[in-house]
Every structure is written in structure tokens, then in C-alpha cells.
Amino acid sequence: MEVILSVAIGVLVAAGVWLVLRPRTFQVLVGLSLLSYATNLFIFSVGSLSIDKEPIVRAGVAANLLNYTDPMPQALVLTAIVIGFATTALFLVVLLALRGLTDSDHVDGSEEGM
């Protein structure tokens, strides 16, 4: 399972970096979103997800601490998803305003094919 998750994170990072380097603003926005998803998956994987285990260690229970899931990365990922959604919405509004003002969606302001 760790290999599949690592490959998924790697593919998301590679696609995100490739899209961030593209000249159009919408492609940059999608690339930033993919990088955000990759970061969220990485943080979530740090929490060592365990199946059929209690999320928090109870007082007085002597058990192996490696069998428990840490709830902090899950809370961080949930917060990051909400913040990422808000910044994506803000970036879309700025993108639409820029497109209306300049009649172009290129990041550097130049047209393709010149």
C-alpha cells in the first residue's frame, strides 16, 4: 500500500510541476491544485493509517503505540483542503478579471506563436 501511495504522490507532483511551468494561467491553477493534493496525501500518509484501531490512546491502556492512528495529520489535511478551496476560488476570480482586462490568459503577458 505504501508503494501505491508513494507512486500516486510522485505522479501528482510531477504533473503539478509540469503544469505550473506552462504559459497559461488556468494550467498553472490546475498545477497548483495538483501540488496541493500531493502535499495533502503526503501529510495524510505521515499519520500512519491503521485499520480497525482506535484513533486515540486511552489513559490506563497499555498497548503498542504503533497500532494507533495519529489524528493530527487528518485534522491538518482537512484544514488544508478548506484553505486550498478558498485560495483556488480567489485565484479563479483574479484569473477572470485579468482575462477581462488584458484579453489574454498568458502568465508572462506574451502571445504564443510569435
pLDDT at position 89: 92
Which of these, 19, 28, 38, 47, lies nearest to 87 by C-alpha position?
A: 28
Residue 108 to residues 13, 54, 102, 105: CA-CA distances in angstroms?
23, 51, 12, 9
Cα gap 95→24, rounded to integer Å: 10
For residue 67, give the DSSP letter. Answer: G
Residue-by-residue pLDDT tens, the chain, 114 positions: 788 989 999 999 999 999 999 988 889 889 999 999 999 999 888 876 666 666 666 666 655 555 566 778 888 889 999 998 999 899 889 888 888 888 887 877 666 654
CB 75 within 8 A of CB 56: no
Confidence at residue 10, expressed as pLDDT on a 0 to 100 scale: 96
> Would you state the pLDDT for residue 45?
83
Q: How far apart are CA 42 and CA 65, in angstroms?
A: 21
User: Can you give the pTM of this predicted structure?
Assistant: 0.74
Neighbours of 62 (CB within 10 A): 5
Q: Identify whether the C-beta of residue 73 lies closer than 8 Å to the C-beta of residue 43.
A: yes
CB 20 within 8 A of CB 33: no
Which domains are present in the chain?
Answer: 2-51+67-102 (1.10.287)
